[in-house]
Every structure is written in structure tokens, then in C-alpha cells.
Structure 1
Amino acid sequence: MPDITLLIVDDHPVVRNGLRSMFAAAPGFEVLAEAADGREAVALAEDLRPDVVLMDLRMPGGGGVAAIAELTRRGLPCKVLVLTTYDTDTDTIPAIEAGATGYLLKDAPRDELFDAVRAAAEGRTVLSPDIAARLVTRVREPRSGSLSTRELEVLRLVARGTGNREIATELFISEATVKTHLTHIYTKLGAKDRAAAVATAYDKHLLP
């Protein structure tokens, strides 16, 4: 059986080196390359076609969720296993919606990580127990009229003062799609413009 090929994506060199060493010492794995951000990850995945991409989420120069969405959009066969320190709904839900096969925290034991990579390579979903439990709760208790995860992403960028063109670039979507999301946001929040939408979102505790 051929080795499972990997692309490691993390903005911290120490983390990348640690993961590379860990997998190099274990039979059945081959690390093809490393990337420091989401944009580099997409380019390398396109070129190298790894079986599994180990993806961090929050990285300067291109985040993991946007990279996962772009990999999905391009139809690349690699499976994405998120490996991060963040386990909030605002991190997990967008990553899974974007196309991630699994979601694991960085404090997972080594053997659990190896098993997760093998499962991801086979196309099986892998979720840490805490995240799985929270997703079940979220599905059972949907919030009526709430913003979608993509709309929340757009709104968070709007709150930072990001323009439509920059939002489109950050999220790998078109400006027209950004405008559509904004229209839906305004309608759901009963806001007439960007400033009002952001203010209402803070009032409703939709933004941190």
C-alpha cells in the first residue's frame, strides 16, 4: 500500500517542523511540502496533489477556511484535515462548510492524529469529540433567522473596515457575491447600511 502523502500548512515554522518530523518517523506517510499560509497551500496542493492537507485556520497572508473553499472550488481530490488550537463555532462551522473532511485540535495525541490522517485519506469524516458534540447541539437547536457562517465572515470583515473588493479576495468569491451577502445581512438584521449592520451585530452579540 503506497504511503499517504501530506501537505502541512501552518504559519509557525516550529509547528511545521514538529509535524514533519513526527510523520517522517512513522511508517506509511510522506510529507511532500509545507506552506505558511492558505494561498501558498492552494498553489502547492494544485501542483503536488497530496492525499491529505493538514490545515491550520488562522494565518496571516491567507486563512485556512478560504483556502479550503478554494481547494473545493477547484475540485482537487485532496482531503483537508483541519489541525488547529481553535474550537469555537465560528471556526469549526465555516471550515466544515467550506469542505474540510475533519477537524482536530493540536493537543490531540500522536496516534489519534495518525488515525485521523488515515481516515481522512479514505474520505471518512474525523471530528474531535468536543466539536462533534457541539455540532450536534447546533443542528438540534437552530437559531431562526440567524446569519449564515459565510454572512458572519463577510460581516466580520466589514467590521474591520474591509472594502468589498478586499472581502472578495480574502474569501475567494466575487464582488457580486459579496454584495449579495450584504443584502441578505441587511435584511436579516433590519439594517440600512454597513455601519448599522455592524452596530446591530454587536448588539446581538453576533460579533466578538
Structure 2
Amino acid sequence: MESGSKPTRVAIVDDDGLTRMALRLVVDGEPDLTVVGEAADGDAALAMVAEQRPDVVLMDVRMPGRDGLDTTRELLGRPVPPKVLMLTTFDSDELVLGALRAGALGFVLKDTPPARIVDAVRTVAAGNPVLSPAATARVIAAATGPGSGQDRGASREAARKRLAALTERELDTARAIADGLGNPEIAERLHISVATVKAHTGSLFAKLALANRVRIALLVRDAEL
């Protein structure tokens, strides 16, 4: 951590006390991270986050009462929302897509090595998405997999209508983001500078009213472009 900079404030939401304790030990062991609160369910999490104002919330997906997906949607609807990193012992298409559509920036399994969880917290705190390769594959497969023709058609048309507001270059950038490319790779593909990629990405966030690159990728997948 740079001299004079404040540590990233982290909250832990999980119904299992041992899991919360283990995560606290991992997070508090890093000089640039600090745990500012814990909660055992969604309702307690909403109150705790309002009081402590963490930068990042480590959120369990499945909890009694208000689950992690509903809690995440509620938190991200607030004027100054935290970043949310979902944690779960389950790895399913429904959970991955549900977490990302709820607005989470990341999705990692609880058996992820501690060092990678810490890295994921830092990445999410910086506003960047985090998905394991397995989770990324599931997102793509689920978003492009079979479904009812009527439902998929309506979703496709709604997504295409939103993307119609983009310039050709912005749409190219959105497609590259959906392919999982980072800024340098996008710049190389489109033969533009990294600064221009960042400018196009900023325009995507503003025009599409989306908060992160994962949501852009999902929209492009919905549009089947």
C-alpha cells in the first residue's frame, strides 16, 4: 500500500460463522485491506453496509431469508453503492448469471485459494470484473444456450435496441469486451490506441447505463452479435 493511502474497506456477508472468520483472517492479513463489518444474512447486511460504507462487499449467494442476489440488487440501487464480489460453494449457470445480472462485479468459489480471493477483492475494488475461467465459460454458454424461442427473441430484440444507440466503433469495442479482451488486446484488434479504447468504453457505460464490462458482455451476448 502506498504511503498515506487508505486501505480498501471490506464487508463480509455469509451465514456461516466459520467462513466469516476465515475470510476476515485472510483479508485483515493484507496491509491494503481491512474488514469493517460482518453480517449473517441479507437484512443485516443492508443495515451494516449503510452504517460502515465499505468499498467492497464479499457476498454469499445462498443465505436464509434475503439471499445474496436480492441483497446485491438492493445495495446496488443505492446512491453510492459498494462493489460486490459474490462467494459461493456452488458453481452453476443460474448462480453465475444471476449474480452478474444483479450487478456483481465478480463471482468466485469459496474454495478459491486465499491469495486469489485477495486479488479478486483488489480487482473489484478498482472497478474491474473478476470471473474464474470456469465461470466465464458458463456465462457464455448460458447466455447463448437453448431457451424458448419467444423469450430469446424478445431478449435479443431488446438488447439490439439498446445497442442501436452506439457508433460503429463503440459497437466493435463492445463486441471485443464480450470476447473477454482487455484494453491492450482491443486496441490491437481495432488498430486504435489504448486511450481511445478507454474513451469508447466510457461511452458504452454512459450510453448503455451499465456499471461494468461484464454487463456490457452480457448485453452483447443477449443481442447475439
Asked whether the two chains share a fold, i.e. TM above 0.5, the reply is: yes
Partner of 1:136: 140
Matched, 1:15 2:24: no
Q: Contact conserved, 1:46 with 1:76, CA < 8 A, in 2?
A: no
For residues 21 and 149 of structure 2, the distance between their equivalents in structure 1, rounded to whole angstroms, comes to: 44
Post-superposition CA distance 1:45-67 (Å, at most 9, x none): 12211000000011113210000
Find the residue that maps to 1:53 and give its secondary structure.
Answer: strand
Q: Say which is worse superposed, 135-144 or 100-109, in terms of deviation.
A: 135-144
Partner of 1:32: 36
Give the structure-2-normalised TM-score: 0.62
- Structure 1 residue 138 displacement after superposition: 2.2
Match of 1:80 among 66, 77, 84: 84
Structure 1 residue identity aligned to 2:84: V
Structure 1 runs (4+) deviating above 4 angstroms are none
Q: Say which is worse superposed, 47-56 or 72-81, in terms of deviation.
A: 72-81
* Aligned Cα root-mean-square deviation (Å): 1.6
Q: Please list every run of 5 or more consecutive structure 1 residues that lacks an aligned counterpart in the other structure.
A: 149-208
Find the residue that maps to 1:50 and give its secondary structure.
Answer: coil
Q: Please list every run of 5 or more consecutive structure 2 residues that lacks an aligned counterpart in the other structure.
A: 153-225
Partner of 1:47: 51
Structure 2 residue identity aligned to 1:8: I
- Structure 1 residue 75 displacement after superposition: 3.2
Matched, 1:120 2:124: yes
For residues 48 and 40 of structure 1, the distance between their equivalents in structure 2, rounded to whole angstroms, comes to: 12
Cα 1:138–1:19, aligned 2, differ >3 Å: closer, same or farther?
Answer: same
Find the residue that maps to 2:137 and give its secondary structure.
Answer: helix
Number of residue pairs the alignment of both structures matches:
148
Post-superposition CA distance 1:5-41 (Å, at most 9, x none): 1000000101101111111222111100100011111
Q: Contact conserved, 2:11 with 2:37, CA < 8 A, in 1?
A: yes
Structure 1 residue identity aligned to 2:82: C
Find the residue that maps to 1:60 and give its secondary structure.
Answer: coil
Give the structure-1-normalised TM-score: 0.67
